[in-house]
A and B are shown apart, each in its own frame.
Chain A
Amino acid sequence: MNFFEFNLPIVALLPFLGAIFAAYSAKFNRLTAAYTSAFFTILALAILSPSLIAVFAGETVVQSWPWIENIGLFFAFRLDGLALLFALLILIIGLLIIIYARYYLAHKDSMGRFYAYLMMFMGSMLGIVLSENILQLVIFWELTSITSFLLISYWQHRKDAREGARMALAITGAGGLALLGGVLLLGHIVGSYQLSDILLQAELIQSHQYYEITLVLILLGVFTKSAQFPFHFWLPNAMAAPTPVSAYLHSATMVKAGIFLLARFFPVLSGTEIWTWLVGSAGMLTLLIGAYTALFKHDLKGLLAYSTISHLGLITLLFGFGTQLAAVAAIFHIINHATFKASLFMVAGIIDHETGTRDMRKINGLIKYMPHTAALAIIASLAMAGVPLLNGFLSKEMFFAEAVSASQASVLAWMIPVLVTIAGVFSVAYSLRFIHDVFFNGEPQGLSKVPHEPPRFMKIPVDLLVIVCLAVGILPMYTVAPILQIAVTGTLQTTPPEYSLAIWHGLNLPLIMSILALGLGTLIYFRRKYLIRNYERHEHISAKSLFMKTIDQLFSFSINVSRSFDKGSLQNSAAWIIFASIVITAYGFLSFNSPLLGDRELMQLDVVSLIIGIIIVMASIYTVIWHRQRLVSLVVLGVIGLVISLIFIKFSAPDLALTQISVEVVTIILLLLALYFLPQKTPREVGKSRLYRDLALSVISGVGVTLFTMMIMSREFDPISSYFLNNSVPGGGGTNVVNVILVDFRGFDTLGEIVVLALAGIGIYAMLQNLTLPAPCNDIGGRIWSKDSHPVILRTFSRLMMPIMIMVAVYIFLRGHNLPGGGFIAGLIASVALIVMYLANGIDWTQQRLRVDMHLTIGFGLLIATSTGLVAIGLGYPFLTSAFSHIHWPLVGDFELASAIAFDLGVFLVVVGSTVLSLVQLGKLSVISHEKQANYNDGLSNSREVR
């Protein structure tokens, strides 16, 4: 297999692997996390690079494997110009961020966690841009929502970080849901979820009756992710993240994911009136709101956040124009914005790092303290403002030109060039503020430390990005042109129209707009004091507060709804559940038209059975009557369990009888052990009405169940078990059908059940860790517990009985396949044997002699059971297929050996492990409690309270 046939999935998944290594390596040295991440990023770039040749030659690389074919899900990756552009942005800017963050993070920040999140995020982003299957794209899309949540809330101790992260997750998550809907509809329309098929079907999609709804749903996903109005407000609140995260998420990745999707579906969804209106107006509003608000933010990152919103609006607006040239401008601006915005965020982080604040009212005149950083920031800001000879100027000119050409579209369209010029004015003003307010404008005020240049490697990523800004701005044809060309081809899926990247196009309308923006912007900046005062008067009206209010209302609404059902009382809920079951069953009974009882011949009642029945009935009733005296009721309950085993014997179920009797013993011992730590009496605390309600519910349930059982038992039936009876010997190699069903026919079920048992055992162990309860020193009658806890007779007999009981267990185990017995029963018998040892001789004594870790027993049991199944797979049979043969043992005779016995051994081990683990842990609890009590008493002899 050629490596270039599967390198794309590796590129997308490698960062996830890197995340694991980064998190792990940070255990040894916090800085290795950064180096590991950088290594994996470079590796991903290296693996991606061979495919560059094909893409630059105009090919589209698609690598696809079936995943769940019948829902159209493929594990499929695609690399065309658009995907390549984004993949390079993600990886290269990601690499710069990794270097930068290594110097940014403070000593107390966990490097491993940061880089693990960052790498996972990088992988998710790569997954989005490289996906060929759009269902798979949605999966990665959701992953970016989750990983960005983790990144934004990286400083978990900060409230603003948690709130910002939650808001981002809520909004992008909701958008993701809408996107899923849109994607499903799109796939339904086309009949395929592969982009290669979808991108060819523009006419089919746009003429389909579901086109509008599909478009709206997909746009909801795009707008939430790319912070378009009215969903823009999560972005400024996400600024609570560490600055490297903001630099990454809001320049090249997270918010660009929405833009990417817009570009991806541009050929099939754009060009209609509804597209222009929805995308265009959202873009325009976002552009204006972002540009306007950015000027008034005193926080450096706040300014950049709103500027990001505004630039995203600009790109969206360009896509909204719907023309091919506009798409060219949009793609070009994506590249430019990613470079200058990433560098500006990093500068903001440097300033924050060196001055301890990001408030532009405090930081002034920094050019004296950090001239190098200042130079970088000034160039990047000028690029953001759209000053000639920088990359921002070129794409902004193209944008203005598109706005001008769109102005002929309708009567009101003349406003478009005017509005975008206004946005341009504000963008010049806020860019100027970033330069003038921070680096000039007097001296810094009230800083806690004297600022100075940051470490060299913190500036290198910014250096590189700023060089790109300059190079693209001055020599566009020799730098950005090739990648832009293929990215545009990838976006449009056809040969792109002619466009010119020249700096000088002559004195035309776009240039006049630019000059106007620069002039007016400078003017506005120097008149900003008046504007800022005016702005702050109505600042409290923000989308954030509206969102918080809505969320609060939603919360209180849902709390009210749940409160009306759930009063925080288990009794209440249980009563409702039982009441509901009664109602449903009563409906079933009432709509049942046949006679209550069928015509099956009933069995003759005999005296012994009658006596046994009466014993159970009496014991049940006395369990209730005496339930306040807990020990007594427990003993009576034990009677029921034992007698039920007689029922099983009577009605041809020897396996069940054996199981029931051994479980009963274990259960009662367990409950006795637990009861030691619980109050010995139940207080009387319910009113009469509650008592009558409960009585009514239980009597109705009992009568209902009795009738229901009779209805079934009095009717003939056609059992499905003849298959098991017929195939037990030829197929399963055993004559005990019950056991063969358990370990062979329904082995998978049994595997699940022993897993549950194992979980219960380990869960009990976990719950009992560090648990201390005061142990009572006397019983309910005030008698002090006997000090002779290990009576000699019991001790002696238990040691005598032990080998016999184990032998019985082994015997029951071995014969289980053919005669009543098997792993469950043998396991229980062995458990009883071991527990008796613990009881009679004490935990310490027994554990000295029984050096077996019950955790390992459980683990080995599961391992054996699972691997017998896997062996079958390895031999080409379905999971858990058994094999058997007869062997002749001397003395014992002909003996049948089935692979199912290995499975049964697994069952045996899990049962022994879980049971003994639970009971011994409970026993240890009493030891610990007694020791604590003794220590406690030594320390505080006159205390009255234990807790």
Chain B
Amino acid sequence: MEWLIAIVIGVMTATGVFLTLRARTFPVVLGLTLLAYAVNVFLFTMGRLNTGLPAVIDATQPGYADPLPQALVLTAIVIAFGMTAFLIVLALKARSELGNDHVDGIHLAEDEESLKSTVPPKKAIKRSGEIE
């Protein structure tokens, strides 16, 4: 079982690192999210693996899982969310300032085809008050 978890962490790290090294912001954000998963599970395993021993005080229970890594990971998950949210908005900001989503902020002469495709067709649809 330990091997399985270790391999899971390893694979998430590897894929996270690979995506972090991409040239566009969105894959980088995905990569960092994957890395965050890996780190969270890794931190969690520092308390070793236990089944059926939640850290809720109960006299009938034979023992408890280590609550400290759990407390750390709980906040880590929430902070990772904050970081992801901040990063992705930073990516949006970068795209709005630079016209493309390259991580190095290079001013490409011509943005990718998708930006052109955002030029709306003849009939603009006026909508308001929604989230797609």
Decide whether A and B assemble into one complex.
yes
Interface residues of A (CB under 8 A from B): 568-571, 574-575, 578, 600, 602-606, 609-610, 613, 616-617, 620-621, 623-624, 627, 630, 633-634, 637, 640-641, 644, 647-648, 650-656, 659-660, 663, 666-667, 670-671, 673-683, 685-686, 694-695, 697-699, 701-707, 709-710, 712-714, 717, 719-721, 724-725, 728-729, 735-738, 741-742, 746, 749-750, 753, 756-757, 760-761, 763-764, 767-768, 771-778, 784-785, 787, 789-790, 818-820, 824, 828, 838-839, 842-845, 911, 914-915, 918-919, 922-923, 925-927, 930-931, 933-934, 936-938, 941, 943-947
B-side contacts of A764, CB under 8 Å: 85-86, 89
A616-B8, A678-B101, A757-B82 given as contacts; is B56 within 8 A of A767 (CB)?
Answer: no
In the A-B complex, the 10 residue pairs with the closest CB atoms: A702-B14, A706-B10, A844-B129, A923-B131, A760-B82, A937-B124, A842-B129, A679-B114, A603-B1, A698-B18
A571-B103, A767-B93, A776-B117 in contact; A737/B131 too (CB < 8 A)?
no
A574 CB contacts on chain B under 8 angstroms: 20-21
Task: Name 9 interchain pairs, CB-CB below 8 A, sorted by A.
Answer: A571-B104, A633-B30, A641-B37, A653-B70, A659-B78, A678-B95, A683-B24, A710-B6, A757-B79
Q: Which residues of B contact A630 (CB under 8 A)?
A: 26-27
A725 pairs with B126, CB closer than 8 A? no
The smallest C-beta distance from A599 to any residue of chain B, in angstroms, reads 13
B58, chain A: closest CB distance, angstroms: 7
* Distance between A429 CB and nearest chain B CB, rounded to angstroms: 59
Complex: chain A residue closest to B120, CB-CB: A777
Instruction: Tell me, in angstroms, the Cα distance from A674 to B54 when the chains sit together.
Output: 37
Q: Mark B104-120, 1 if CB is under 8 A from A, else 0.
A: 10000001101111111
- Please state if A682 and B114 are interface contacts (CB–CB under 8 Å): no
Bitwise, B40-56 to A at CB < 8 A (1) or not (0) is: 11101111111111111
Q: Which residues of A contact B53 (CB under 8 A)?
A: 652
Give the contacting residue for B3; candidates A694, A710, A844; CB below 8 A.
A710
Per DSSP, chain B at the interface is: helix
Contact A652 B51 (CB under 8 A): yes
- Min CB gap B31→A, angstroms: 9
Q: Which residues of B contact A660 (CB under 8 A)?
A: 40, 77
What's the Cα separation between A686 and B25 when bound, in Å?
A: 15
Residues of A within 8 A of B119 (CB): 774, 943-946
Evaluate whether A927 and B130 lie within 8 angstroms (CB atoms) in the complex, with A652-B52, A699-B14, A774-B115 already known: yes
Q: Which of A568, A683, A757, A819 lies in contact with B56, CB distance below 8 A?
A: A819
Residues A705 and B42 in contact in the complex (CB < 8 Å), given A613-B4, A624-B19, A737-B64: yes
Tell me if A709 and B37 are in contact (CB < 8 A).
no
Would you list which residues of chain B between 67 and 110 have a CB under 8 Å from chain A? 67-68, 70-71, 73-75, 77-86, 88-93, 95-96, 99, 101, 103-104
- Of A647, A789, A911, which contacts B41 at CB under 8 A? A647
Asked if B86 and A926 sit within 8 Å, CB to CB, the answer is no
Per the bound structure, the CA–CA distance linking A671 and B29 in Å amounts to 9
Residue in A686, A756, A760 with the greatest tally of chain B CB atoms within 10 Å = A760
Query: Could you tell me the distance between the alpha carbons of A627 and B26 in the complex, rounded to whole angstroms?
Result: 9
Q: Which residues of A contact B93 (CB under 8 A)?
A: 767-768, 771
Q: Which residues of A contact B45 (CB under 8 A)?
A: 709, 712-713
In the assembled complex, the CB of A290 is this many whole angstroms from the nearest CB of chain B, namely 50
In the complex, what residue of chain A is closest to B54 when comparing beta carbons? A652
Knowing A686-B23, A706-B9, A710-B2, the reply to whether A678 touches B68 (Cβ < 8 A) is: no
Cα distance A712–B46 in the bound complex, in angstroms: 7
Closest A residue to B53 by CB, please name it.
A652
Taking CB atoms, residues of chain A closer than 8 Å to B18 are 624, 694-695, 697-698
Q: How far is B29's CA from A670's CA once the two chains are assembled, in angstroms?
A: 12
Contact A937/B120 with A652-B52, A764-B85, A922-B89 known, Cβ cut-off 8 Å: yes
A670 closest partner in B (C-beta): B85
Contact of A738 with B74 in the complex, beta carbons under 8 Å:
yes
Are A678 and B117 neighbours in the complex by a CB distance under 8 Å?
Answer: no
New A-B contacts (18) at CB < 8 Å, excluding given A637-B30, A651-B49, A946-B118: A570-B103, A603-B51, A620-B12, A634-B30, A666-B81, A675-B26, A682-B27, A706-B13, A709-B10, A719-B66, A736-B57, A741-B67, A742-B71, A776-B114, A776-B117, A789-B127, A820-B56, A824-B75
Given the complex, which residues of B lie within 8 Å of A820, measured CB to CB? 54, 56
Contact of A842 among B41, B58, B131 (CB under 8 A): B131
Question: Residues of A contacting B54 with CB < 8 Å?
Answer: 652-654, 820
Q: In the complex, what distance in Å separates the CA atom of A621 from the CA atom of B73?
A: 24
CB-CB under 8 A from B86, the residues of chain A are 760, 763-764
**Neighbouring B residues of A839 by C-beta, 8 Å:** 131
Q: How far is the CA of A923 from the CA of B52 in the complex (A)?
A: 41
Q: Are A709 and B67 in contact (CB under 8 A)?
A: no
A808 CB to closest chain B CB (Å) equals: 18
Tell whether, in the assembled complex, residue A736 and residue B2 are in contact, meaning their CB atoms are under 8 Å apart. no
Q: Are B122 and A941 in contact, CB atoms less than 8 angstroms apart? A: yes
* Residue numbers in B under 8 Å from A750 (CB-CB): 75
Query: Closest CB-CB distance, B33 to chain A, in whole Å?
Result: 6
Interface size class of B (residues with CB under 8 A): 35 or more
Q: Is the CB of B56 within 8 A of A736?
A: yes
CB distance from A932 to the nearest CB of B (A): 10
Which residues of B are found within 8 Å of A617, using beta-carbon distances?
A: 7-8, 11
From residue B83, how far is it (CB to closest CB) to chain A in Å?
A: 7
Cα distance A262–B125 in the bound complex, in angstroms: 76
Q: Which of B20, B33, B71 contacts A741 (CB 8 A)?
A: B71
Chain A residues within 8 Å of B1, by CB? 602-606, 609
Inter-chain contact B92/A774, CB cutoff 8 Å: no
The answer to whether A947 touches B99, judged by C-beta atoms less than 8 angstroms apart, is yes
Q: Is the CB of B11 within 8 A of A621?
A: yes
Partner of B64 from the list A686, A725, A938, A946 (CB cut-off 8 Å) is A725
A702:B17 contact, CB within 8 angstroms: yes
Give every chain A residue within 8 A of B46 (Cβ-Cβ).
712
**Is there contact, CB below 8 Å, between B88 and A738?**
no
Q: How far does the Cβ of A940 sit from chain B's closest Cβ, in whole Å?
A: 11
- Flag if B21 contacts A575 (CB, 8 Å): yes
The CA of A724 and the CA of B41, in the complex, are separated in Å by 21
For B85, the chain A residues whose CB sits under 8 A away are 667, 670, 760-761, 764, 918
Chain B neighbourhood of A923, CB < 8 A: 130-131
* CB-CB nearest in chain B for A746: B71
The smallest C-beta distance from B105 to any residue of chain A, in angstroms, reads 8
Flag if B9 contacts A705 (CB, 8 Å). Answer: yes
CB contacts (< 8 Å) of B38 on chain A: these are 705
A656 touches B12 (CB 8 A): no
Judge whether A627 and B125 touch: CB under 8 Å.
no
B7 contacts A735, C-beta separation under 8 Å: no
CA gap between A627 and B15 in the complex, in Å: 11
CA distance A701 to B11 in the complex (A): 9
Which residues of B have CB within 8 Å of A828?
Answer: 78
Interface centre among B66, B71, B75, B95 (most CB of A within 10 A): B71
Task: Tell me the minimal C-beta distance from A175 to chain B in angstroms.
Answer: 38
Asked whether B15 lies within 8 Å of A674 as measured between CB atoms, the reply is no
Select from chain A the residue with minimum beta-carbon distance to B68: A721
B60 located at the interface, meaning its Cβ lies under 8 Å from any Cβ of chain A in the complex: no
Contact B47 A719 (CB under 8 A): yes
The residue that B30 contacts in the complex, of A627, A659, A787, A936, with Cβ under 8 A, is A627
Contact residues in B for A578 (Cβ distance below 8 Å): 17, 20-21
Contacts A698-B17, A777-B125 given: A724-B89 contact, CB under 8 Å?
Answer: no
Chain B residue numbers with a CB within 8 Å of A713 are 2, 5-6, 45, 48-49
Q: B126 — which chain A residues lie within 8 A by C-beta?
A: 930-931, 934
Q: How far is the CB of B65 from chain A (nearest CB, A)?
A: 4
Please indicate the chain B residues that have their CB under 8 angstroms from the CB of A624 in the complex. 15, 18-19
